[in-house]
Structure 1
C-alpha cells in the first residue's frame, strides 16, 4: 500500500528531472504529508509533450454515478490492473508518473504503530507509476483523479509492509509516459519492486499520523518509541 508520501523538491527541479514541457500545476509548494483526496502533481504526455497537472488522489472512474471514490482507489495492485473494471482500460493511454521524494509506511510495534519513511539512497525525487481517469459531473466540470500502482515489496520494504509503490527508473518513466507504447506486456513488466540496494528507510515522528501536520520535521529520523 502507499497511503502517504512527500514531495520536497523545488518546482524547477521537478520540471528538469521529468523533462516537463508545460507546467499546469498552480501554487506548487513542498509537501511533507500528502494524503488521499489531496490534489497531487503528476506528469502525463499530451500531444507529445510532458505536462505537469493536478490530480485528485483517489481514482474516480469515468462511469462513476456520483463522482466519489472509495479509499481503496488510492492504489491499484499491479497484478490485477488488467482485470479490475476501474483500471483495465486505463493502461492503454491514461498513464501518469507522480513525482515523489519519499513515502511512509507503518509497522506494528508494541502497543501501537511506528511510521517509517522510505527514500532513495540519493534522497532525490523519483517517479511513481500511476493511472488516471476523468469524470464529468452534471455541472460539466471535469474531475481529474489518479491512483498509484503498488507491487510486491523488495527485501527492505517487506520489513514494514507487504506492498510497495512501483518506482520507475529513468527508462521506465520514458516507456510509461510514451503514449505510442501500447504493449501491455512491456508496460506491466515495469511494475516490479525497486532494487533494495538503492533504497533506505528510517523511523520518523508519529506526528505524521495526522494529515494536518506538515513541515520538515516529519521527515527527520527519530529514536524508536519516541513521539
Structure 2
C-alpha cells in the first residue's frame, strides 16, 4: 500500500507538467498523510483543473465516513469490480501530483521507511479516483490511489506500489481515455530513473513535515537469521 507521499515541486512546474488551467498556490508537503487534504487534478469542460480533496475515499452511497481511512488505496486488479471503487473508476478518475512516496520495509522486529522517487525529484502523478459524498451538511470530496504489484527493484521493500504516471500521454489516457487505454497504464513504473533510499523514521509521525524527511540515511543492516530450530509447539497449540 501507499500511506505517505511528498509533493514539494514548485507550483509553476506542476502547472506546466500537467497543463492545469487554474493552479492552487501550494505549500511544500514532505509527509502527506491519509485524511489530509491534498491537490488532485480533474478534467472538466475539456480542461484540467486542480482542487483540494481529502485522502481516503468515501463512496457516494456510503451511510457515513467511517471507512475513509481504510480506502486510501485501491487495487488495480479489482478496481473495476469492487463496489467501493467501480463507479469512480468508470466516471471519476484523477491525477494526484507527487514527487515521491514512502514505503516501510520490515527488518526483524523493526520497520525501516524508504522514499521512492524519480531521479532529480522529477514530479509525476499517481493514478487516482475521486468521489463526492453528499450526506453531510456540506459535500465531502475524497480520493484514493491505485496500486499494483511492485517493480522487482523495490519489491524487497514492499510488494505493492502506487501507479506512477510520468508523461502527458499517460495523464490523458487516465483522465479521458477509453477502457483499454486506461488498463494499459495500470502497471508498475519501470523507467530507469526510479530510485529509492532509506530515510529517517521520523516520517512515521504525521506531525513531522519538513525537508529533512527527504534526506537519505545509512542503509540499515538486515537482522542475522538464527540457525537455531524453532521451539516445538506446546500440546494443544493451534500453531
Normalised by the size of structure 1, how large is the TM-score?
0.92
Which range moved further: 216-225 or 146-155?
Answer: 216-225
- What RMSD, in angstroms, separates the aligned Cα atoms of the two structures? 1.5
Task: Measure, in 2, the Cα distance between the counterparts of 1:129 and 1:193.
Answer: 11
**Aligned counterpart, 1:189:** 184
Q: Is the 8 A contact 2:38 2:54 kept in 1?
A: yes
Q: Which runs of 5+ in 2 are unaligned?
A: 222-239
How far does residue 213 in structure 1 lie from its aligned partner after superposition?
Answer: 0.4
**Aligned counterpart, 2:21:** 21
Q: How does 1:1-227 map to 2 (within 5 A)?
A: 1-23=1-23, 25=24, 28-139=26-137, 141-170=138-167, 171-178=169-176, 181=177, 183-195=178-190, 197-225=192-220
Residues paired across the two proteins, number: 220
Q: Is the 8 A contact 2:30 2:209 kept in 1?
A: yes
Deviation per CA, 1:61-112, whole angstroms, max 9, x where unpaired?
0011123334320000000001100111112220100001100000111331
Task: Measure, in 2, the Cα distance between the counterparts of 1:186 and 1:2.
Answer: 24
Q: Is the 8 A contact 1:98 1:130 kept in 2?
A: yes
Q: Is the 8 A contact 1:67 1:137 kept in 2?
A: no
Deviation per CA, 1:3-53, whole angstroms, max 9, x where unpaired?
000001111111111100013x4x621010000001010101110110000
Q: Is the 8 A contact 1:115 1:206 kept in 2?
A: yes
Runs of 4+ displaced beyond 2 Å: 67-72
Normalised by the size of structure 2, how large is the TM-score?
0.88
Q: From the CA coordinates, give the structure whose radius of gyration is larger.
A: 2
Q: Which runs of 5+ in 1 are unaligned?
A: none
